[in-house]
Structure 1
Amino acid sequence: MPLTPETSPTPPRIDTSKPHPARVYDWYLGGKDNYPVDEALGRQITAMEPTAKYGARHNRWFMHRAIRMLAARRGVDQFLDIGTGIPTEPNLHRIAQRAVPAASVVYVDNDPIVLAHAEALLHGTPEGTTRYLQADAREPETILELARGILDFERPIAVSLIALLHFIPDEQGAYDIVRTLVDALPSGSHLVLSQLASDYDPERTREAVEMYAVGGVTLVPRTREEMTKFFTNSGLELLDPGVVWLPDWHPELAVDEERDGTAVPLYGAVAVKP
């Protein structure tokens, strides 16, 4: 199975002079696929917000619970994960294929360092399918065109946008991206989304936005109402318990999570297309 990008025969060069959200996130999670510039920004953020690493772990745990529910309880066997990030075990396909061994998972990212580790994303079950596409989340039509060669768009698909949209401003079409993706999905499909909150601690959030901006990264926190609009603007129906803080989304589905009651300023939700 080829690991070269589907959109370009020549992978772009990895820029180590500026921090990258996926690599900062990798540092939060204790990974080793980051550079000094990423660690420097991560340390700045955690100095201001000591719970940042804990929040990153909760973001992963939310994804695990959501995929576990969709595969095991709602029978979803096709997944399109956009903004995949650097592989961290267990990856999405591990969770999905434990419940449904024949599940098909397509990962999408535009960071060349993710491509460099894409082989780790492709080790799934013999019955299932795992593929990686090199594409930009801000080009949903390209993603859909490529994904149609792998997934069956006549059957339900779960699209996951985990901690992705808070790096895409409204003026770059954040809501339009979601609507374009959802419009292409058949009835019974789902959207999984997590988003940094702007209405938990506005002052500390503003400082975080400024720190990311100094590093050349745009960070776009949103209110609960703004998060909810990703679903309502796309004609989706939120599943219980709606848009909530990450630790509050179906905690009964937790596996190997370490909770200490610390607040996590990120929202999470899952919705279905009628």
Structure 2
Amino acid sequence: MTSVSEESQVPPGLDPKIPHSARMYDWWIGGKDNFAADRELGDRFAQAIPSIPAMARENRAFMHRVVRYLAGTAGIRQFLDIGTGIPTRPNVHEIAQKIAPETRVVYVDNDPLVLSHARALMVGDPAGLTAYIDADFTKPDQILADEDLRRVLNLDEPVGLLLIAVLMLARDADDPWAAVRALLDALPSGSYVAITHPGQDFDPAAMAAIVGAATQAGMVLVPRVQSEVARFFADWDLVEPGVVPVSTWHPDKEPGDAFYWAGLARKP
């Protein structure tokens, strides 16, 4: 992957002086696709929570585990990944298509840098399909009506919906629960939704510090308590162990500390 950390390489439509969550996340996990503004705000977050880079890696590891579970144990062959972020291998299609080459994946994000990388790099197994949609999760009707989504996914068959570390980018006043519910209602029985979300209740003082830093930088960041995260799953059936700290959901190693809630639920 070519680094775009220099402002001379900025894709059209992107302001490198405005920090973006996907690029901060990229910096925390050791990527090169970020700018000075992303690193500056990411460092301010790390001053409040020194382990935040490790937490970002734990969040990414959950995505790996939950996709393996869905493609393997649950037999899901279609994924809708909203809030994709900058491609970091392995990506969803690489994990799922290793288990079932015919798996189809649609990625959704609204950052020009993610767009430029996704369309170049997210090419899957010829037996399956991948597509990228430039859209925001707060506009579910736009996502669901997109012709690329309809071309790649069959919404009459079960879908694995991934909402990994994205829902905190909407204020309560914008009712992200309604946006998620619209997505859930569009999916058939047997579908799954996986969610991770930074938790306000792990360390309220540290969370208040990073929210303050984000607000000063013009970024929306809303950590939530466990019960508020659980509301996103609506009336779907939670897979054991429920809504738990992200590193403790079906761990494949000794769990580390991470201030994220995580869960997976199935539509009855």
**Is residue 267 of structure 1 aligned with residue 261 of structure 2?**
yes
Give the counterpart letter for 1:19 in structure 2: P
Describe the SS at the equivalent of 2:232.
helix
Match of 1:205 in 2: 207
The C-alpha deviation readout for 1:7-31, integer Å capped at 9, x for no partner, is: xxxx961111110111111111111
Task: State the Cα distance separating 1:148 from its structure 2 match.
Answer: 2.1
Structure 1 equivalent of residue 48 of structure 2: 48
Alignment of 1:82-93 (within 5 A): 82-93=82-93
Alignment of 1:52-63 (within 5 A): 52-63=52-63
Q: Secondary structure at the match of 1:191?
A: strand
Provide runs of 4+ in structure 1 moved above 4 Å.
Answer: none
Counterpart CA distance in 2 for 1:225 and 1:123 is: 38
| 8 Å CA contact 1:213, 1:219 repeated in 2 | yes
SS in 2 for 1:231: coil
The residue aligned with 1:4 is none
Deviation digits for residues 168-222 of structure 1, max 9, x if unmatched?
1121120001100000000000001000000011111101100111111111111
Q: Distance in 1 between matches of 2:192 and 2:198?
A: 20
Distance in 1 between the 2:171 and 2:150 partners?
27
Identity of aligned residues (%): 45
User: After the TM superposition, which residues 27-176 of structure 1 pair with which residues of structure 2 at under 5 Å, given as runs?
Assistant: 27-146=27-146, 147-176=149-178
Compare 117-126 and 79-88 and name the one that shifted more: 117-126
**Partners of 1:110 and 1:135 within 8 A in 2:** yes
Name the structure 2 match of 1:3: none
Shift of 1:162: 0.2
Residue identity opposite 2:150 in structure 1: R
User: RMSD of aligned C-alpha atoms?
Assistant: 1.3
Partner Cα distance (1:228, 1:86) in 2? 27
Residue in structure 1 matched with residue 179 of structure 2 by the alignment? 177
| In 2, Cα distance between equivalents of 1:91 and 1:71 | 13
Classify the secondary structure of the residue corresponding to 1:227.
Answer: helix
3-state SS of 1:160 partner: strand
Deviates more, 1:11-20 or 1:213-222: 11-20
Contact 1:140 1:177 in 2 (8 A): yes
Q: Answer yes or no: is the 8 Å Cα contact 1:91–1:121 preserved in 2.
A: no
Give the deviation of 1:262 after TM superposition.
3.9
Match of 1:6 in 2: none
Is this contact kept in 2: 1:158–1:191, CA < 8 A? Answer: yes
> Could you state the TM-score of these two structures normalised by the residue count of structure 2?
0.93
Residue segments in structure 1 that go unaligned for 5+ positions in a row: 1-10
**Aligned partners of 2:103, 2:16: CA distance in 1, in Å?**
35
Label 1:16 to 1:71 Cα distance change in 2 as closer, same or farther (>3 A): same
Letter in 2 for 1:170: D
Written as runs of structure 1 = structure 2, the 5 A alignment for 1:180-259 is: 180-232=182-234, 235-251=235-251, 254=252
Secondary structure of the corresponding residue to residue 166 of structure 1: helix
1:240 counterpart SS class:
coil
Deviations 1:53-104 (A, max 9, x none): 0000000000110010000111000000001010001111111111111000
Normalising by structure 1, report the TM-score: 0.91
Amino acid at match of 1:244: V
Partner-residue secondary structure (3-state), 1:69: helix
Structure 2: gaps (5+ residues): 1-10
Q: Is the 8 A contact 2:164 2:196 kept in 1?
A: yes
